[in-house]
Amino acid sequence: MSEKQSPKTFLPNEGDDSGCSCDCGKIEAILAKYNNDRGRLMDILIDVQDSQGCVGKEAVAKIAKVFNMSKVDVVQTLSFYHFFSQTPRGKYTVYLNDSAVAEMMGRDEITKAFEEEVGCKFGSVSEDGRIGLFDTACIGMNDQEPSAIINKRVFTKLTKEKVAKIVKGMKNDFEVEDLPCTDVQDNILMQGPILTKDTEIGEAVRKAVFMSPEEVIEEIKQSNLRGRGGAGFPTALKWRFCRNAPGEKHYVFCNADEGEPGTFKDRVILTERPNLLFAGMTIAGYAIGAEEGILYLRYEYKFMEKQLEEVLTNLRNKGLLGKDVAGKEGFNYDIRIQSGGGAYVCGEESALLESAEGKRGEPRDRPPFPVVKGYMQQPTSVNNVETFCSVAKIMHKSAKWYRSLGTLDSTGSKLVSVSGDCERPGIYEIEWGFTVQDVLNLVGARNVQAVQVGGPSGKCIAPNDFNRKLAYEDLSTGGSIIVIGKQRDLLKDIVMNFLDFFIEESCGSCVPCRAMTVQYKKKMEKIIAGKGVKKDIDQMLSWEKVMLMNRCGLGQSACNPVISTIKNFRELYDAKIQKTDYVSQFDLAAAVKESCKTAGRIPNLGGNHE
C-alpha cells in the first residue's frame, strides 16, 4: 500500500517509532481466549483483524512468539486469506462484491458512488483511515445485488442513494448495526421436501440414535443420497469409509464455505433452517462415531454467526447436543463453528481442513483421503450443508420416501440458487430431473442468451441445451444457476470475470492452475481486442488437458469458462478473430517507449526497423 493510503486517525500509537499499531494487551487476550492453541490460528487472526483493523507487525510477532513459529510462518497463513491484511483497512471496511451478476446489476455505478462519497479509490483506505474500499469475490448475495459487506454486516440491493446514507453514517461514527439499508432476504421462492417445515428435529435425531450406526449408514445408502456440493459422491459410502478408518477421534465437518459464484442456497439454509442442518450433522456424528462436529463457515457469512450460536445453545438446552444426546447413553456430541478467512479454494474439502487447522488453504495430495486422514490427521467426513439437511429428512421420513423423488441416479431434490437476468431470482427447491427450461420458466427468464450451470467451474450452455436435465447423470450442479440475457457480452462480461475470479482464487501451488489461468486471460484479451486468430482458439482448447493435471477441482475446472463457451458459443469467438494465420502482437512504439524516455531520445519508428 502506498504512503498516501496509510491511515492517520485511527492508529492508537500514531507517531510511535516502533511502528506498533496494535493494542498488545488485546492480542494477548485474544490468544488466551483460544487457550494459546496453534490450531485456532484462523480464529485468532480474525479477532485481531476485527479489533485492530489489520494484523500488523507487532501482532504477527506476538502470535509467532506464543506459538514458537517464525513470523514469516504467521504471514504465510495470514497472506493467504482475502479478509486478513497486514496494513490497516479502515475502521469501516467496505467489501463490494465483484461477481459477474453484481456487474450485471449495476455494480459500476455503486463503485463510483462509494469512491465519490468516501474520497478514495477501491483497493485503498481514506486519508483519515476511517473507511477502506475493497473488492471481494461473490458473497452469496447474487439474488440481491449489488451488495457489500461492511464489518461483517451485509448491505444488499445497493443504490447510489443508499451508498450516500451508509457513508454518511460511517462518517458520523455510527455502529455498523445502526447503519441504514440492510436487509438480507431469504428469497425462498419454491419449497420442496427439504425446505418444507414438517420435521421435528428431536424426532429425527432420536430415530437415528436408537438405531445402530451401521443401520443409519444403511438407511442413507438405501436413499441413494449423493453429496450436494457438486461432486456427487455417495454420502453413505463416505461415512462408511470414515467409520471404518482407525483413529483416536473421528470428526464431522460441515462445508459451509459456499464460494461458487452464484450459489447462495447454503446461506438460506443456515439462516432459515439451521436446526435441520445441525440435526443432520448430529446424525452423521453418530453414524461415523464422532464426538465433535465442526461447521466451517465462510467469512462472508459471519453476519449469521450469532444466530447460529443461539441455535446451538438452544439445542444443548434441549439435550440434542452435549452429553447423552437425545437420551442415547454414551453418545456425546457437540458442534462448534469455525470461520474461514475468505478463500474460494477452501470449499475443496482437504483445503478446508488445512484452513481449519490454521494453515494456508491449499488442497492436500490424495491419497490419503480425508475420510482416512482428515482434520488433525484423524478420520473426517466433510459434507455439504444441503447434504446434512437431506440426511435429517431421510432419517425422519425414510429412504424409501426419498428415493421416490428425483431420478434413478439422482434421488431427492436440489436447492438451486438462480440469479442474473430473470424476474424472480432466489432459491428454488426442485426435484432432480427438472430441465434448464423448467427452471427458466419458474424464474421468469426471457431473451436468454446462455445459462451458466454450476457457477464458473460448471458449464455455460446455449438455448439448444435448455432441454437438458439437472441431474448428476446430465448437468450436475452444486446449486448455482446464472441466467445471462441476450444484452450481455458473454466473453467480456462473463468469461473474463470468471477468469479473473480463478486467477485471484488459485492457491498458487500447482503450476498449471497458477500460470495457465493467466495465459487464458491473455489469450482472451487478445481475442476480445480483435487480434486473435484461429490458432489461439485451438491452443486454448488444447490447454484443457494441462489444466486436468492440477491437484484439485478448482484447478481442473478453472478453464471451464473458456472451454464451455468455445464449445457452445463458437460463433462469438469466430466473429472476433482475424481470418489470417498470424497477426503480429509486437508494438514497436510501446516496446521502446521506456528506453527512449530514459535516454531522452525520440524513437525513430519509420520504415525499416532494423
Q: Where does this chain bind another protein (CB under 8 A)?
A: 64, 68-73, 75-76, 79-80, 343, 360, 365, 367, 503-512, 514-519, 522-523, 539, 543, 545-546, 548-551
Q: Which is nearer to another protein, 479 or 561 (CB)?
A: 561
**For residue 427, which of 415, 439, 441 has the smallest C-alpha distance?**
415
* Pairwise CA distance, residues 147 & 102, whole Å: 7
**For residue 331, which of 203, 209, 215 has the smallest C-alpha distance?**
209
CB of 86 to another protein, least distance (A): 10
Asked whether the bond before 12 is cis by omega within 30 degrees of 0, the reply is no
CB of 41 to another protein, least distance (A): 14
Q: Which is nearer to another protein, 42 or 343 (CB)?
A: 343
Cell, residue 122: 477501491
DSSP 240-256: HHHHHS--S--EEEEEE
Q: Which is nearer to another protein, 72 or 408 (CB)?
A: 72
* Pairwise CA distance, residues 260 & 263, whole Å: 6
CB of 70 to another protein, least distance (A): 4
Cell, residue 64: 509467532
Q: Which is nearer to another protein, 10 or 369 (CB)?
A: 369
Length of the chain: 610
Instruction: Give 461's DSSP letter.
Output: E
Task: Count Cβ atoms within 10 A of the Cβ of residue 578 and give its class: 0-12 exposed, 13-18 middle, 19 or more buried.
Answer: middle
Amino acid at 100: A
CB of 508 to another protein, least distance (A): 3
Q: Which long-range CB contacts under 8 A does 410-414 form with residues at least 24 apart?
A: 410/226, 410/232, 410/471, 410/472, 410/473, 411/223, 411/224, 411/225, 411/226, 412/193, 412/194, 412/223, 412/225, 413/192, 413/193, 413/194, 414/228, 414/386, 414/470, 414/477, 414/479
Q: Which is nearer to another protein, 41 or 154 (CB)?
A: 41
**For residue 395, which of 387, 384, 385, 407 has the smallest C-alpha distance?**
387
CB of 513 to another protein, least distance (A): 9
End-to-end CA distance of the chain: 42
CB of 38 to another protein, least distance (A): 10
CB of 500 to another protein, least distance (A): 10
CB of 67 to another protein, least distance (A): 8
Task: Count Cβ atoms within 10 A of the Cβ of residue 71 and give its class: 0-12 exposed, 13-18 middle, 19 or more buried.
Answer: middle
Q: Which is nearer to another protein, 62 or 130 (CB)?
A: 62
CA-based diameter of the chain, in Å?
A: 91
CB of 10 to another protein, least distance (A): 25
CB of 231 to another protein, least distance (A): 15
CB of 188 to another protein, least distance (A): 35
Contact (CB, 8 A) for 584 and 533: no
**For residue 453, which of 502, 419, 407 has the smallest C-alpha distance?**
419
Q: Which is nearer to another protein, 306 or 545 (CB)?
A: 545
**Cα→Cα distances 271→268, 276, 311, 383, 497, Å:** 5, 11, 10, 18, 29
Q: Which is nearer to another protein, 3 or 365 (CB)?
A: 365
* Pairwise CA distance, residues 227 & 95, whole Å: 31
Contact (CB, 8 A) for 393 and 205: no
* Pairwise CA distance, residues 488 & 104, whole Å: 8
CB of 546 to another protein, least distance (A): 5
**For residue 488, which of 39, 101, 221 has the smallest C-alpha distance?**
101
Q: Which is nearer to another protein, 135 or 386 (CB)?
A: 135
CB of 462 to another protein, least distance (A): 29
CB of 323 to another protein, least distance (A): 36
Instruction: Give 464's DSSP letter.
Output: G
